[in-house]
Amino acid sequence: MPRLQTLSVVIPCMILAPLAVAGSPPTAPKRPVSNTYWGVEVVDEYQYLENLTDPVVSRWVEGQNAYTRGWLDSRPERPAILRRVVALTHSPSPDYFSLTYQGGKLFAIKRMPPKEQSFLVVFGDGERLTGEWTIVDPNTIDPTGSTSIDFYVPSQDGRLVAVSMSTGGTEQGTVSVYEVASGRKLSDTITRVNGGTAGGDVAWTGDGKGFYYTRYPHPGERPDEDLFFYQQIYFHRLGTPAAADTYVLGKDFPRIAEIELATSGDARYVLAQVSNGDGGEYAYYLKGPDSGFRKFADFADRIIHAQMGVDDAVYLLSRRDAPRKKILRLPYETPDLARATVVVPQSEAVIRSYIPTASRVYVVQLLGGPTQLAAYHLDGRRGRTLPTGEVSTFSRLVRLEGDEILVSRQGYRTPPAYYRVSEALRLKATPLAYVSPADFSGCEVRREHAVTDDGARIPISIVMRKGTKLDGSAPLLLYGYGSYGYTLSPAFVAHRLVFIEQGGIYAVANIRGGGAYGDDWHRAANLGNKKVSIDDLAACARYLVTRKFTTPKRLAIQGGSAGGLLVYGVMVHHPEVAAAVLAHVGFADVLRSELSPNGEFNTTEFGTVTDETQFRGMYAYSPYHHVSDGVVYPTVMATTGMNDPRVEPWHSFKMVARLQASGTPNPVLLRVSYSTGHGRGTGLSQRDQQLADSYTFLFAALGVEYEQVVP
C-alpha cells in the first residue's frame, strides 16, 4: 500500500455544522398540490420543481449548486483528493471493452487517459490481437469531450461499421457508417436510432449493403410527449437517403418496447428481441433469408435472452420452471418454441451469461455474486467447470473461431484482463490486460452474510486493508443496487482505493431485487415489494455494526439510479443506521416517476399507480413521501445531471427540498452538472471532479481526517 502523509490542515468531524460555509442553501417555497390515487390524497409541496424550464426552479437549483460547491471547495483536502483520484484512474495502460469479433477482425472500445472519451479500434489480425488502428475517435470529432460512442456494430465481413454517437450524456444517438480500413465516414447518417429510454441497435444484412435499425418517431410523426416511445424497426440501404428507409416491424409493439437486434453467424437470419419495458418480459422475432419477421416467443413464454449460434440454431435463456435459468436450443429453420431442446439445464448456480460456439456452449454461472465458467457440449453433456478462485468474476464473453472464446476476468483486487479460452477450458493470457496504478495487494476480501428479519441470507463482500482492527472505529462505505435482477459481481474499481487507504472499509451487498440467486431473488423485491430491498440493505448495515466493522456514526451508504432510490429509502425508513448518504441520479418520488418517459419504461420494475395493489406498495416505500419533520437524517449529497434521460433531475430537486425543510440538523447538499446525463458519455475530467467531490463529501461526513498519499 502507498505511504500516507498527513496534511498540514485536517478536517475534523465538527466542521460538518451547516455554518461551516457562509450563508445557507436557498429555501424552496412550499406550493401544496393534491393528487388522489385510489381514494388516497397525497399532498405534494414541491411538485413545481418538476418544471425544469421555470426560472424560479432554475434560480433555486443554481443557488443550491453554488452552496454545495462552496461546501465542498472549502475543504482544504479536496485538491489532494482530486490529485489522488487522477493518479489512481489515469493509467497509461489502455482498457478495452465491448469487444466484437467479425470478419477475422477484433473490434473494441478503448479507454486511454488523458483522452476525455473512449474510442473505437480494431485489431486487423483478430486471432493474434495485432495490427491495431483507430476507426472512430470522438475526441477528434469533438475536442470539447462531450461526444461519446453509444454503440457500434460491424458488418459481417468486417469491412464497415455502424457507430451511434451522442452528446452531453443525452444518449440521443445518430448512426453513421465508417470504412474500417480507412476510417472514412460514408454519407449515410441515420438520426433517432439510440435513446435513453429504449436504447438502440443495428443488424447488418449478410452482403453488407444495408442494415436493420431501431427508430424512434420523428418530430411530427407523433406528439412531442411520445417521441421517446414506440420504438420500431426500419431498414436502410447504403447510399440511399434516410428518408427513403422502409418500415419493417413494430407498429404493434408496446409503447414501452425496447428492441435489440442480431445477425446470425452465416448472415442468413436476423433476430429481434423486444422487451416490455424494464421489468424482464421479452418477445422474439426471427427473419429468415426468404421471409419476414416471425414471432416465435411471447412475453408469457419467459424467454429472457437469445444468442445466435453458428450451427443453424438460436440459443435461448429461459426461466420457465427454472428461476435460476436454463438454456434451450432452437433450429432457425423450425422456430417453434415447443420443439426447443434443453442444452444447459437449471442447476444450483444461476446462469449469468453464455455464448454458443461450433460445438460448445460456454456459460458464466453466478454463485451469489462471484462466478464460475462452465462448458457444455451441444448435446447437453457438461464439460469442465473453472472457478474464479478469489472473490472475482468472469464476464464479457467474445466468440472467436471454432470453439475458442475470449473471456474477461477481474476481482476486487485484480484489474480486468482478457484470456483466450480453449474447449479444454484452459485460460491463456492475452495482451488485453489492464494495468492499474491502484495497488490492492495490501487488501483482503471477505464474504459474509447478514440475516434479515424474515430469514433471508444476504451476501456481503468486504474489501479492507489487511490487519484492519474490527473495533468499530473504521469508516465504512456500503454500496447497494437491488433492481432489475442485476447482480453486483466483484469488479475492480481503482478509485475505491481512495477510501480504503484512509483506513476505510468498502462493502457490497447483494440484496433482493438483484439476481444473485435467480429470478425468485429478483421478484421478492420488485413492483410494490421494493421496500424488501430497502430493509435488506438496512439489515446489512446493522450486521456490519454488530460485527464491529464500523459504527453507525462511521457508516455511509451509496447507490446510483435505482440504487439512489435504495439509499434514499434506507435513509427515510431507517435513518439511524448510517451517518451519510451519497445518492447519484436517484429516483425519489416513485408515484410521479412514470410521468417521465423513462419512468414509464420502469413501471414493469417499480410498479404503476394505475394498479391499486402496486400503488399501495409503492406509496409504502416511496422515499420522498416518507420524509418526516423533526427527524435527524444522515448528512446527504444528491448528485444529478441536467441531461439525464433515465432519471429526471427533479427527483433529486424534490428530495433535497423536502429534506432541507424537515429541520434535520445535518447538511443536505445538491450537486448538479449542467453538461452530463445519467453517467454514460461523461468525459474523463468531469468524472474526476465528480469522484473528488464524492470522496470529499464522504470523508467530511464520516469525520475522516484525510492524510495525503505519497506514492
pLDDT tens sequence across 643-676? 888 999 999 999 999 999 999 999 999 999 999 9
Residues 6+ apart with CB under 8 A from 610: none
Q: Which residue has the cell 453554488?
A: 66
Average pLDDT over residues 35-55: 96
Average pLDDT over residues 444-462: 96
Q: Which residue has the cell 476481482?
A: 411
Average pLDDT over residues 437-450: 96
Q: Quote the pLDDT of residue 12.
A: 33
Q: Please say whether the beta carbons of 552 and 517 come within 8 A.
A: no
Per-residue pLDDT band for 6 (boundaries 50, 70, 90) equals: very low
Burial of residue 87 (CB within 10 Å: 0-12, 13-18, 19+) is middle
Cell of 150: 453509444
Same fold, 55-88+439-710 and 94-267: no
Distance, in Å, from the CA atom of 661 to the CA atom of 460, rounded to the nearest integer, reads 35
Average pLDDT over residues 533-559: 98
How confident is the prediction for the chain on average, in pLDDT?
93
Q: Quote the pLDDT of residue 137.
A: 97
Hey, what CATH topology would domain 55-88+439-710 get? Rossmann fold (3.40.50)
Per-residue pLDDT band for 22 (boundaries 50, 70, 90) equals: low
pLDDT per residue as tens digits for the range 294-351 = 999 999 999 999 999 988 999 999 999 999 999 999 999 989 999 999 999 999 999 9
Q: Quote the pLDDT of residue 18.
A: 35
Percent of the chain with pLDDT over 90: 87
Name residue 476's amino acid: L
**704: helix, coil or strand?**
coil
Extents of the domains making up the chain: 55-88+439-710, 94-267, 350-437
pLDDT per residue as tens digits for the range 386-438 = 877 657 899 889 999 999 999 999 999 999 999 999 878 889 999 999 999 99
What residues does 354 pair with on adjacent strands? 363
Q: Is the pLDDT of residue 8 over 90?
A: no
Global confidence as pTM: 0.93
Average pLDDT over residues 106-133: 93
Per-residue pLDDT band for 266 (boundaries 50, 70, 90) equals: confident
Residues shown for the chain: 711
Tell me the CATH architecture of domain 94-267: 7 Propeller (2.130)
Three-state helix/strand/coil letters over 65-128 = HHHHHHHHHCCCCHHHHHHHHHHHHCCCCCEEEEEEEECCEEEEEEECCCCCCCEEEEEEECCC
Chain centroid, CA 664 distance in Å: 31
